């Protein structure tokens, strides 16, 4: 007895000092609650579908409708607590949603670079690893009562227009790359444990949402006019890959209308496309107040009850907002929808909660139940944030070359600019409180003596009052590093940019400092969107340009590591850097991806726009040089076709065949490329493979079909195997929105090397009807 008492009080003592890690009460199905202990929905041995059915059967209508919103009400008689569905984790656990509360036990979380920077690494392993770390921290915070388990991240809209304020949140402008990013990050967040979820991710905002506020048009009123072709080969690609390859547990519909229909009210999009065709296993949530927006701002229905009914019948399962809790029961009473419609929505949300283990009783004994405050901001997690920044930084220009700097020759550095000693600018939007910060100034101080001068009071840089100090500093130092660019006052949610140039007098500061600089002048840019820095590209006094994106909590350390060559840069631009002229006569509201010479419309992204650029998609230099040669590659690929059983019609147009008629399994094109590091430094090479389909299909003039990264020591050579899925990536979309494989000659571009391959159809076998 005595020893048992000691044991109990010791356990109690540990519970106290571990604090919230073990303190969370069960969300539901508390084993101590006699009312629910024996009920089927609490029985972990039953299939989830049966448990959900049992639970839904026990709810009153009034209880049901109060579960249709992000702040889902408690169901006291069934021992279910209230739940906040809205948490965010775009690049670290974020305080943007009300589900996350940073407190004494969890005062910060690892803040990775903003997504546009991480995307520039082109490293699929890194993307998934970040998701794993973020979900460890999210689970730890959930255990401590400081966060939810449902995260409305990532944002995988196409970065279509360079002015978009939220482009920073996305993996860039290429649909395939955005899809691969989505699937990798989602896998990292959700864990690879069958139907069980570590946390539930969400790909947003479906679809064609990439305008916040431009020239009087805002996202709540915007009607995006999109062709079937652009929808299928651009806007929906990342969402489809997120569902089919990432098995994401949620998709969020957006605010805007698409071709006149609000996305959250569109059964063709939600029920037919996402749930039936793509096979979403999870729930569809609205952007916050989307239902209210399509009723009150877009006047899509004449009564609020109709709006509630239309949304649920279209396939919406959860409303971020209060609308469905207020109006669904009235809609039911008016016969605008059925109880079965409501049950269908609940089935989708409750099943996700069950897959998260929320009805499995005591949280501390479940998977991840042991994670607590000591698992957040660990040295390993913070090291990964630093590593992600190093991998994402892009070297745009390096004349002579002047980088890396030398510890011996560059002992005193003038560190200049409004972003030179910033902290929260480095983490962009949808961030949390980071574990700590290393600003560029602090990073450079680990390598050299510094003279710091902001040059401008802020990024708006409205006057030259502080220029004198900056010019003096540059005059005295062995080298000058200017850290310029943007922040959330220039590009953000609600704020699209007006132009692409550096704000205010920044350009003037850079040029004047470069003129005064005794040593090399290096321009470092922080921004989500591209900046027209033609002036610096063309100025011989500015010897190097680096784009750091928003590099996260350790960004300054990573920038310094690149400047001094501790890290050999390897990032590549995930979006085109256009000249200012590109946007001067281009409405942001014009959604067409394809150019039109009649309309004088330039087209969008590297896949369609062929005009002048400041830096192209995929640009990024290294401190070494790589040479690619093709070791082996087929000249002909036979595409087996079948699928003519219904009509017995096995002919196909001589130009292309429908993907649905091809036998796609295992149909791949394998290239072997030898990469030689011909420079004197070890480095990492990012191989981007573009395909140029045969002409005459209104297809992209080229598109990314594969990417691979390899680390290669100086002087060494490595053979890289590249696998291209023919049906997925060598196909194109026709004007009816149908995916087809164009037959004939495709040119594959790998750096400077081009390889030609001919796709030819062969009848595989006929299926008799
Ligand atoms: C990709 O990132 C991971 C995680 O940081 C790293 O271990 C790996 O070396 C990177 N791959 C390449 C080829 O650099
Ligand atoms: C729903 O009702 C609550 C409480 O009356 C109110 O605060 C909220 O604004 C309502 N929401 C909508 C969308 O009507
Ligand atoms: C740089 O920023 C840090 C953090 O905000 C601040 O503590 C420090 O004083 C700044 N350094 C200079 C030289 O202004
Ligand atoms: C220069 O700009 C700063 C920051 O906007 C402002 O505080 C200051 O008054 C301005 N100085 C002059 C001379 O306009
Ligand atoms: C067979 O397919 C071709 C090409 O798609 C079409 O023109 C033709 O009408 C079809 N014939 C029948 C009998 O369906």
424 lines ligand 3 (CB under 6 A): no
Residues within a 6 A CB radius of ligand 5: 647, 649, 651, 653
Q: Is the pLDDT of residue 769 over 70?
A: no
Percent of the chain whose predicted confidence (pLDDT) is above 70: 95
Q: Is the pLDDT of residue 553 over 50?
A: yes
- CA 291 to mean position of chain CA atoms: 24
Q: Is residue 552 part of a domain?
A: yes
Which residue owns the Cα nearest ligand 5 atom 2? 651
Q: What is the pLDDT of residue 18?
A: 46
Name the burial class of residue 228, with classes exposed (0-12), middle (13-18) and buried (19+) by CB atoms within 10 angstroms of its CB.
middle
In a shared domain, residues 574 and 633: no
Number of structural domains found in the chain: 2
Q: Is residue 734 part of a domain?
A: yes
Q: Is residue 214 part of a domain?
A: no
CATH number at residue 686: 2.60.40.10
- Residues linked to residue 637 through DSSP beta bridges, in sequence order: 759
Please state the rounded mean pLDDT for residues 316-323: 98
Name the burial class of residue 654, with classes exposed (0-12), middle (13-18) and buried (19+) by CB atoms within 10 angstroms of its CB.
exposed
CB within 8 A of 716, min separation 6: which ones? Answer: 676, 677
CB within 8 A of 561, min separation 6: which ones? Answer: 390, 443, 567
In a shared domain, residues 763 and 667: yes
Taking only the tens place, the pLDDT of each residue in 341-380 is 999 999 999 999 999 999 999 888 889 999 999 999 999 9
In a shared domain, residues 644 and 575: no
Please state the rounded mean pLDDT for residues 383-406: 98
Instruction: Based on the residue annotation, tell me whether 752 is a catalytic residue of this protein.
Output: no
Q: What is the pLDDT of residue 96?
A: 97
Please state the rounded mean pLDDT for residues 191-208: 96
End of a domain among 553, 584, 615? 584
Taking only the tens place, the pLDDT of each residue in 138-156 is 999 999 999 999 999 999 9
Q: Is residue 353 part of a domain?
A: no
Percent of the chain whose predicted confidence (pLDDT) is above 90: 91
In a shared domain, residues 578 and 712: no
Q: What is the pLDDT of residue 652?
A: 60
Mean pLDDT of the chain: 94
Give the position, in ligand 3's atom list, of the atom nearest the Cα of 452: 13
Query: pLDDT band for position 21 (50/70/90)?
Result: very low
Of 336, 309, 341, 160, which is closest to residue 233 (Cα–Cα)? 160
In a shared domain, residues 557 and 629: no
In a shared domain, residues 545 and 642: no
End of a domain among 552, 584, 616? 584
Please state the rounded mean pLDDT for residues 390-403: 97
Q: Is residue 601 part of a domain?
A: no
451 lines ligand 3 (CB under 6 A): no
The tokens describing 487, both together, are 């922040």
Q: Is the pLDDT of residue 169 over 80?
A: yes
Q: What is the pLDDT of residue 766?
A: 53
Q: Is residue 760 part of a domain?
A: yes
In a shared domain, residues 732 and 658: yes
Give the position, in ligand 4's atom list, of the atom nearest the Cα of 466: 1
**How is 302-354 classified by DSSP, letter by letter?**
SSHHHHHHHHHHHT--BBSSSHHHHHHHHHHHTTSS-HHHHHHHHHHHHHHHH
Q: Is residue 493 part of a domain?
A: yes
Please state the rounded mean pLDDT for residues 312-327: 98
End of a domain among 584, 604, 632? 584
Q: What is the pLDDT of residue 7?
A: 44
Q: What is the pLDDT of residue 762?
A: 81
Taking only the tens place, the pLDDT of each residue in 690-732 is 999 999 889 999 999 999 999 999 999 999 999 999 999 999 9
Residues within a 6 A CB radius of ligand 4: 457, 462-463, 465
Please state the rounded mean pLDDT for residues 505-529: 98
In a shared domain, residues 520 and 654: no
Alpha-carbon distances, residue 278 vs 122, 269, 396, 730 (angstroms): 25, 11, 39, 20
CATH number at residue 536: 3.40.50.1700
Q: What is the pLDDT of residue 764?
A: 58
Q: Provide the 3-class DSSP secondary structure of residue 746.
A: strand
| Measured distance CA(251)–CA(270) in Å, rounded | 9
In a shared domain, residues 573 and 629: no
Q: At what angle do helices 175-190 and 124-143 cross, to 10 degrees?
A: 40
Selected catalytic residue, list 174, 233, 287, 360: 287
- Other Cβ atoms less than 10 A from the Cβ of 645: the count is 12
Q: Which domain holds residue 476?
A: 386-584
In a shared domain, residues 568 and 714: no
Of 634, 633, 627, 625, which is closest to residue 718 (Cα–Cα)? 627
Of 143, 105, 107, 149, which is closest to residue 23 (Cα–Cα)? 143
In a shared domain, residues 557 and 494: yes
Q: Is residue 243 part of a domain?
A: no
From ligand 1's centre to the CA of 126, what distance in Å?
Answer: 6
Q: Is the pLDDT of residue 648 over 70?
A: no
Taking only the tens place, the pLDDT of each residue in 589-643 is 999 999 999 999 999 999 999 999 999 999 999 999 999 999 999 999 999 887 5
Q: Is the pLDDT of residue 543 over 90?
A: yes
Q: Is the pLDDT of residue 644 over 90?
A: no
Q: Is the pLDDT of residue 14 over 70?
A: no
In a shared domain, residues 496 and 567: yes
Taking only the tens place, the pLDDT of each residue in 88-113 is 999 999 999 999 999 999 999 999 99
């Amino acid at each position: 007895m005595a020893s048992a008492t000691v044991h109990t009080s010791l356990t109690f003592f540990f519970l106290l000092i571990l604090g919230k890690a073990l303190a969370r009460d069960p969300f539901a199905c508390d084993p101590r609650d006699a009312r629910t202990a024996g009920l089927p929905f609490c029985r972990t041995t039953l299939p989830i579908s049966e448990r959900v059915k049992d639970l839904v059967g026990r709810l009153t209508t009034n209880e049901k409708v109060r579960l249709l919103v992000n702040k889902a009400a408690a169901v006291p008689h069934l021992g279910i607590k209230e739940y906040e569905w809205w948490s965010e984790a775009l690049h670290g656990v974020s305080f943007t949603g009300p589900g996350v509360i940073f407190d004494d036990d969890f005062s910060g979380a690892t803040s990775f670079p903003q997504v546009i920077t991480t995307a520039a690494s082109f490293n699929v392993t890194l993307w998934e690893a970040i998701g794993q770390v973020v979900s460890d921290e999210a689970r730890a915070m959930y255990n401590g009562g400081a966060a939810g388990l449902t995260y409305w991240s990532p944002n995988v809209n196409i970065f279509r227009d360079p002015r978009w304020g939220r482009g920073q949140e996305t993996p860039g402008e290429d649909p395939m790359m955005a899809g691969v990013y989505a699937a990798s990050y989602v896998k990292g967040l959700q864990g690879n444990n069958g139907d069980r979820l570590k946390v539930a991710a969400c790909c947003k905002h479906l679809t064609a949402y990439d305008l916040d506020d431009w020239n009087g048009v805002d996202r709540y009123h915007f009607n995006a006019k999109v062709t079937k072709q652009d929808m299928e080969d651009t806007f929906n690609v990342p969402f489809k890959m997120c569902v089919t390859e990432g098995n994401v547990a949620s998709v969020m519909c957006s605010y805007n209308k698409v071709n006149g229909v609000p996305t959250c009210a569109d059964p063709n999009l939600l029920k037919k496309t996402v749930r039936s065709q793509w096979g979403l296993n999870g729930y569809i949530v609205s952007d916050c107040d989307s239902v209210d927006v399509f009723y009150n701002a877009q006047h899509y229905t004449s009564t609020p009850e109709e709006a509630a009914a239309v949304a649920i019948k279209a396939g919406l399962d959860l409303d971020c907002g209060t609308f469905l809790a207020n109006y669904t029961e009235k809609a039911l009473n008016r016969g605008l929808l059925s109880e079965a419609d409501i049950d269908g929505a609940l089935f989708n949300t409750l099943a996700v909660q069950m897959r998260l283990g929320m009805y499995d009783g005591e949280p501390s004994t479940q998977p991840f139940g042991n994670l607590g405050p000591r698992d957040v901001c660990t040295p390993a997690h913070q090291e990964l944030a630093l590593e992600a920044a190093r991998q994402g930084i892009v070297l745009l220009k390096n004349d002579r070359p002047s980088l890396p700097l030398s510890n011996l020759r560059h002992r005193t550095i003038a560190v200049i600019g409004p972003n030179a000693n910033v902290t929260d600018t480095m983490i962009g939007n949808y961030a949390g409180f980071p574990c700590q910060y290393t600003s560029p100034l602090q990073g450079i101080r680990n390598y050299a003596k510094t003279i710091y001068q902001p040059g401008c009071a802020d990024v708006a840089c409205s006057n030259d009052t502080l220029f004198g100090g900056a010019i003096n500093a540059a005059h005295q130092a062995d080298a000058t590093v200017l850290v310029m660019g943007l922040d959330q006052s220039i590009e953000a949610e609600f704020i699209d940019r007006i132009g692409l140039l550096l704000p205010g007098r920044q350009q003037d500061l850079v040029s004047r400092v470069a003129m005064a600089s005794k040593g090399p002048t290096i321009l470092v840019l922080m921004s989500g969107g591209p900046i027209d820095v033609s002036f610096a590209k063309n100025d011989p006094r500015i010897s190097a340009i680096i784009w750091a994106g928003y590099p996260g909590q350790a960004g300054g350390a990573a920038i310094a590591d690149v400047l001094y060559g501790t890290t050999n840069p390897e990032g590549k631009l995930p979006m085109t850097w256009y000249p200012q002229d590109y946007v001067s006569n281009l409405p942001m509201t014009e959604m067409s991806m394809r150019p039109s010479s009649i309309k004088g419309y330039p087209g969008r992204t590297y896949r369609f726009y062929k005009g002048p650029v400041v830096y192209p998609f995929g640009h990024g230099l290294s401190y070494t040089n790589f040479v690619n040669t093709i070791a082996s590659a087929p000249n002909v690929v036979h595409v087996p076709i079948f699928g003519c059983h219904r009509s017995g019609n096995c002919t196909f147009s001589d130009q292309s065949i429908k993907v649905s008629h091809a036998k796609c399994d295992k149909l791949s094109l394998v290239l072997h490329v030898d990469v030689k590091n011909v420079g004197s430094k070890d480095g990492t090479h990012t191989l981007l493979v573009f395909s140029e389909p045969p002409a005459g299909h209104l297809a992209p003039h080229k598109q990314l079909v594969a990417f691979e990264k390899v680390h290669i020591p100086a002087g060494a050579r490595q053979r890289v195997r590249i696998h291209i899925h023919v049906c997925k990536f060598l196909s194109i979309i026709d004007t009816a929105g149908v995916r087809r494989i164009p037959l004939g000659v495709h040119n594959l571009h790998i750096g400077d090397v081009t390889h030609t391959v001919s796709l030819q159809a062969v009848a595989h076998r006929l299926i008799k009807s």
